[in-house]
Amino acid sequence: MSKVFSTNRRAVITGLTATAALSLPALPLPALAKAAPKIVIIGGGFGGASAAMTLRRALPRAAVTLIEPNPTYHACPFSNLVISGERTLDQQAFTYDGLARAGVQMVYTKAQDIDASARLVTVSGGGTIAYDRLIVAPGIDLRYDSVAGYDAAAAQIMPHGWKAGAQTQLLADRLAAMEDGGTVVMSVPRPPYRCPPGPYERASLVAHYLKTRKPKSKLILLDAQDRFSKQPLFEQAWAELYPSLIERIPGAESGRVIRVDATAGTVHTDFDSVKADLANIIPEQQAGEIAQRGGLTDATGWCPIDPVTFASTQAEDIYVIGDATIAAPMPKSAFSAHLQGEICALQILRSLPGEAPLSTTLSNTCYSYIEPDQAVSVSGVYRPDGPRFAPIAGAGGTSPLKADIGLRQSEANQARAWFHAITTDVFG
Amino acid sequence: MRTALTASLTVILMGACGAADRQPKQSAIPGEAALLAATCTGCHLSGAKSTAIPALSDRSADDLRDALLAYQQDGETVMHRLMPGYTAAQIDALSAYFAQETPDDE
């Protein structure tokens, strides 16, 4: 048995072109504990990369394969600072060299399908990769159909900027090219979506850009939500820093965008339409496509999981982590994805020799910039409670509403330290 | 290094080709402390020099316990919001865990 698994890396490679991987038998638990367990991860974002590194650090004989189509990862956290011209997109870029150095087998291709009964992942071109355990970390897919007239082509004119990379740069370029006196229109979708405070951080930083570079311009926030994350802190900051620059129309006042005309540059709600010089349309979202193809999503379009282990409730030996999961009140954040990747990896390591899962306490903290040198934060502490997470009473909350500039600057420094720490932890 | 990390496991680790840079933080079967500590590593980089978020790997268990318990009192920081969610026993486990961690040289 150990001989079979001593060639497992080669099996990964041959699996891409042939079906050698098919001949690998699924191992019973005691054998898995001794042999090199074969753990495959789909998706190299904060969740998938964190799971891969955790597995390699804790169990160096584990054969860990990460399937990811893009050799360069662009981080979403801090990407709003790229849009407002405070950072470059290059500063958001990370390679998987650190993971490869740690012994993670990188496979740069797209996972197309999952066969849970045969424990096989099919990749672009038809090759297969076998697994003992599969972690699916596909992030989000944008639901273009949630806004009539919006699609991939329209997103070239009205960028979403909700997956970091070319879209982030496009939005930055369009903002830089806009004439002073222009109207920026941003739409916020109905929840759940990736990064709950993200649209409001973006509004803050775009407002800062307009205030300092194009002061005759304005920002209209068409918001499907009535209440939002860190609302009192954002509204206080907008009133103090950007008075009369941001106009927010909440869902109850028909703020939800239902249609756009990219060519005409108009954005439509139920009762109104707005002419935009630059429109940033953030559509509704669902779990990444592979989660749907693999049968891991439910009717909501997201993935139900066991909150103790992150095991899919819909498939054996498959785990789902990160934005694709149903983990509320844990937010869809990089922090949560990173933590879920670690916890999932550790629970898998417990399961290999047959140890029972161990319920634990999880936390999240999200920083948001209200201007380039000031930030606010929200934290939560959670524990598994039946099929979902429950917040722990008496813990969590936001930065104080009454605070001097020193505290806001200190949280901006912590945000930078956090970004450095989390990206170093997973990408090296 | 955790005391629970046995000599035999150490041999395996040292012999492993291409193993991760960072020293393993837990024994072969991760326990309660390793699971709890996973949250901390999202912000506290092992071996971090002077940043706004300090490393946890170069402090004694007593120091860490005192600091974490102090965060259960009123205060304005992120840590003051997080630590009320943890029990004294969890704080003990975390303090012992990080005190035994080998600092990074990254």
**Which chain B residues have a beta carbon less than 8 Å from that of A394?**
84-85
ipTM of the complex in this document: 0.90
pLDDT: which is higher, B44 or A1:
B44
**Which chain A residues have a beta carbon less than 8 Å from that of B84?**
381, 394-395
pLDDT (average), residues A175-181? 98
What pLDDT does A115 receive? 98
| Six-digit token string for A37 | 């367990």
Do B18 and A61 make contact, defined as CB atoms within 8 angstroms? no
pLDDT at A32 over 90: no
Alpha-carbon distance values, A17 to A232, A344, B19 (Å): 55, 30, 27
What pLDDT does A6 receive? 35
Do A413 and B52 make contact, defined as CB atoms within 8 angstroms? yes
pLDDT at A16 over 60: no
Task: Give me chain A's average pLDDT, please.
Answer: 93
Determine contact, residues A140/A164, Cβ cutoff 8 Å. no
Using CB atoms, pick whichever of A407, A418, A424 lies closest to residue B76: A407
Using CB atoms, pick whichever of B17, B21, B35 lies closest to residue A346: B35
- pTM to 2 decimal places: 0.90
What pLDDT does B57 receive? 83
Which residue in B has a C-alpha nearest to residue A101's C-alpha? Answer: B18
The SS3 of residue B22 is: coil
- Assess B41–A contact: CB distance below 8 Å, yes or no: yes
A247: nearest Cα among A217, A270, A283: A217
Using CB atoms, pick whichever of A54, A350, A428 lies closest to residue B29: A350
Sheet holding A259-261, edge to edge: A259-261, A266-268, A273-275
Match 């170093």 to its residue by tokens: A424
Do B41 and A425 make contact, defined as CB atoms within 8 angstroms? yes
- Mean pLDDT per 10-residue section of chain B, whose length is 106 residues: 35 35 58 97 85 89 97 96 98 96 56
Roughly how many angstroms between the first and final C-alpha of chain B, as a whole number? 16
pLDDT at A262 over 80: yes
pLDDT (tens digit per residue) in A128-145: 999 999 999 999 999 999
Do A424 and B22 make contact, defined as CB atoms within 8 angstroms? no
3-state per-residue secondary structure call for chain A: CHHHHHCHHHHHHHHHHCCHHHHCCCCCHHHHHHCCCEEEEECCCHHHHHHHHHHHHHCCCCEEEEECCCCEEECCCCHHHHHCCCCCHHHHEEECHHHHHCCCEEECCCEEEEECCCCEEEECCCCEEECCEEEECCCEEEEHHHCECCCCCHHHCCCCCCCCCHHHHHHHHHHHHCCCCCEEEEEECCCCCCCCCHHHHHHHHHHHHHHHHCCCCEEEEEECCCCCCCHHHHHHHHHHHCCCCEEEECHHHCCCCCEEECCCCEEECCCCEEECCEEEECCEEEECHHHHHCCCCCCCCCECECCCCCEECCCCCEEECHHHECCCCCCCCHHHHHHHHHHHHHHHHHHCCCCCCCCCCEEEEEEEEEECCEEEEEEEEEEEECCEEEECCCCCEECCCCCCHHHHHHHHHHHHHHHHHHHHHHHC
- Assess B32–A contact: CB distance below 8 Å, yes or no: yes
pLDDT at A326 over 90: yes
pLDDT (tens digit per residue) in A274-322: 999 999 999 999 999 999 999 999 999 999 999 999 999 999 999 999 9
What pLDDT does B46 receive? 84
